[in-house]
């Protein structure tokens, strides 16, 4: 759903104040000092590959890149990173495997990472592999004792609550290190409730990580509202605490990292599941879910049919828990037929009689029974009401000490657009927005060959976009402003819209695509590099026109599809360029 700035755009560059993650990690630690922090690269800056779209040809460079991020987290933010992964969901290059065999290749990667971590005093940082599937990593760990010695956790993505025999044989911690990714309505909450329990019950996984935490990006991007809650209107301040948040609370308010799952068969007789966790100090938490098939389907993988029926379940507490007399009760019911859910409500405590108690369970419910009395559901003030994106929006980027490295409301989809200070400018353009990624990254998804940042309301049809632009790249540099932009994220390469381009060679183009291949109009503009120019793009109905420095450059170009979309700015390639006095109406 967009790009995020690296701490090292270039080989000689280190900056630990870019993006929102540092802020986010610190805010998380304020709320729960015991929360764990994990780093997992999805993309690497291009310089790591020295021209190749592959991060392991120079493994010491890659290891230094990862370690510098961990050290920077500590030095600049006092954050301790607990775990680090290898590379998100990426296969190993067959070219590389043929040269040296899979096992050797992994060993180079993981052993080098472990060695580099230890050399920098980071013995406490554990390694997760491989953030993809259970295999081949599990098989390789069984074959390779050295590799087995340095990988602490096997992390699989979207395991469908199941593991594989080899993973169990390794005796490593098994995690669902990315899961959920589902639209955050009641069905999303049902998905989350089911996998939070059944990843352990069926698959022995002791951690489940939701992608993603908060849906704070334009909803029309590929995975709109696939967060545990929604906060996608920074201009209004509106947000919504969706049902998956309260499903999360059933587990996270009554356990902590370091608690242990009790090894019980957590399948309920008539469908559904339960887990039991203990802190080793006498506390016990039991979480029960009875999600039905059609009300708990996740985005992936496909869910085989199963049935859940209302039932009376009796639980027996033994050993040190035999003495427990009462358990606090928290309850959620996801209301699909009625349309009104009851989320995370405290009920009367349950009396435990001679080590046992019974509960009447309906379908699509979650119960937490716990010795802890610390549960709470906040009486938070109502958030501000929702508002559409302002129909008249300006940003001159004139901010001396910005709280973040990027301008608000712009959503970078390829490249990174950062606040920039022009020390040499005579005064009009001291503070600008600058595209700073000058090399194609080692990509996770298919980034575009152009850079682009989108902004505004996806439903916009008619609009005027105005922006001062400054091409820095001589000869073949170029920039654009655009309207009715219809795509981003993993689909950014197929983005359509109305794009007004100017190039350093003094030409201009109007295209209906980001790739610049569907040309609607072209000609001479007189634009040159290293000079400021003002572009304006006006789209009304099926007609578009463009102005350069206040004078018409082209007009009455017919535009058909797409019929609506965001405004955008961007560059022809991975190149430096600046933007100022952005205005969309």
- The residues annotated with a catalytic role in the active site are 89, 178
Tokens representing 515 are 């790739």
Render 475-503 in DSSP notation, one character per residue.
TT-EEEEEEEE---GGGGGG-EEEEEEEE
Dihedral of CA atoms 163, 165, 170, 172 in degrees, nearest 10, equals 20
* φ and ψ of 444, to 5 deg: -90, -55
| Residues whose CB is less than 8 angstroms from the CB of residue 426 and which lie 6 or more positions away in sequence, other chains included | none
- How far apart, in whole angstroms, are the C-alpha atoms of residue 431 and residue 437? 18
Coil, strand or helix: which one is 221?
Answer: coil
- How far apart, in whole angstroms, are the C-alpha atoms of residue 553 and residue 297? 53
Sign of CA dihedral 514, 519, 525, 529: positive
**Residue 387: CA atoms inside 13 Å, Cβ hemisphere, count?**
10
**Residue 255: CA atoms inside 13 Å, Cβ hemisphere, count?**
24
Specify the DSSP element, H or E, that contains 231: strand 229-233
Tokens representing 421 are 């200070």
Give the length of the chain: 585
Give the closest residue to 51 by CA, choosing from 109, 110, 11. 11
Cα angle at 112 between 108 and 114, to 5 degrees?
Answer: 125
**Residue 583: CA atoms inside 13 Å, Cβ hemisphere, count?**
12
Whether the Cβ atoms of residue 343 and residue 326 lie closer than 8 Å to each other: no
């Amino acid at each position: 759903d967009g790009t995020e700035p690296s701490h090292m755009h270039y080989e000689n560059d280190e900056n630990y104040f870019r993006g929102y993650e540092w802020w986010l990690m610190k805010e998380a630690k304020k709320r729960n000092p015991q929360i764990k922090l994990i780093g997992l690269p999805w993309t690497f800056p291009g310089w790591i590959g020295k021209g190749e779209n592959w991060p392991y040809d120079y493994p010491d460079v890659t290891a230094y890149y990862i370690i510098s991020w961990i050290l920077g987290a500590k030095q600049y933010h006092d954050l301790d990173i607990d775990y680090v992964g290898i590379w998100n969901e990426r296969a190993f290059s067959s070219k590389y495997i043929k040269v040296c065999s899979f096992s050797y290749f992994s060993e180079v990667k993981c052993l080098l990472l472990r060695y580099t971590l230890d050399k920098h005093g980071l013995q406490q940082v554990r390694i997760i592999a491989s953030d993809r599937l259970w295999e081949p990593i599990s098989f390789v760990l069984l074959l390779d004792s050295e590799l087995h010695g340095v990988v602490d956790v096997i992390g699989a993505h979207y395991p469908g609550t199941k593991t594989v025999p080899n993973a169990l044989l390794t005796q490593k911690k098994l995690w669902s290190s990315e899961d959920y990714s589902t639209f955050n309505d009641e069905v999303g909450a049902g998905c989350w409730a089911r996998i939070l329990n059944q990843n352990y019950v069926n698959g022995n996984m002791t951690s489940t990580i939701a992608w993603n935490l908060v849906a704070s990006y334009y909803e029309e991007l590929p995975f709109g509202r696939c967060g545990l809650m929604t906060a996608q209107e920074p201009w209004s301040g509106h947000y919504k605490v969706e049902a998956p948040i309260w499903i999360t609370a059933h587990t996270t308010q009554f356990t902590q990292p370091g608690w242990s799952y009790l090894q019980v068969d957590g399948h309920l007789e008539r469908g559904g599941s339960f887990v039991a966790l203990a802190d080793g100090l006498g506390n016990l938490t039991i979480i029960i879910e009875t999600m039905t098939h059609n009300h708990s389907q996740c985005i992936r993988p496909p869910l085989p049919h199963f049935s859940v029926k209302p039932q009376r379940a009796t639980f027996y507490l033994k050993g040190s828990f035999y003495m427990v007399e009462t358990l606090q009760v928290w309850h959620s019911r996801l209301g699909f037929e009625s349309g009104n859910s009851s989320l995370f409500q405290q009920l009367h405590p349950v009396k435990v009689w001679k080590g046992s108690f019974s509960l009447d369970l309906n379908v699509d419910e979650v119960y937490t029974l716990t010795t802890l009395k610390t549960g709470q559901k906040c009486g938070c003030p109502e958030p501000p009401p929702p508002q559409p994106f302002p129909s008249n929006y300006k940003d001159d980027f004139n901010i001396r000490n910005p709280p973040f490295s990027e301008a608000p409301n712009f959503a970078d989809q390829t490249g990174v657009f950062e606040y920039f200070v022009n020390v040499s400018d005579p005064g009009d353009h001291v503070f600008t927005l600058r595209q700073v990624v000058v090399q194609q990254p080692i990509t996770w998804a298919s980034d575009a060959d152009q850079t682009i940042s989108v902004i505004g309301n996806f439903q916009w049809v008619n609009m005027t976009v105005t922006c001062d632009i400054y091409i820095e790249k001589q000869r073949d540099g170029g920039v654009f402003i655009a309207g009715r932009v219809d795509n981003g994220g993993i689909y950014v390469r197929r983005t359509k819209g109305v794009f007004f381009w100017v190039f350093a060679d003094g030409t201009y183009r109007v295209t209906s695509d980001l790739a610049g291949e569907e040309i609607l109009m072209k000609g001479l503009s007189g634009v040159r590099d290293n000079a400021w120019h003002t572009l304006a793009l006006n789209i009304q109905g099926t007609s578009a026109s463009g102005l350069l420095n206040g004078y018409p450059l082209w007009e009455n170009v017919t535009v058909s599809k797409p019929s609506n979309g965001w405004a955008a700015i961007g560059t022809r390639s991975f190149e430096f360029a600046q933007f100022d006095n952005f205005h969309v109406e």
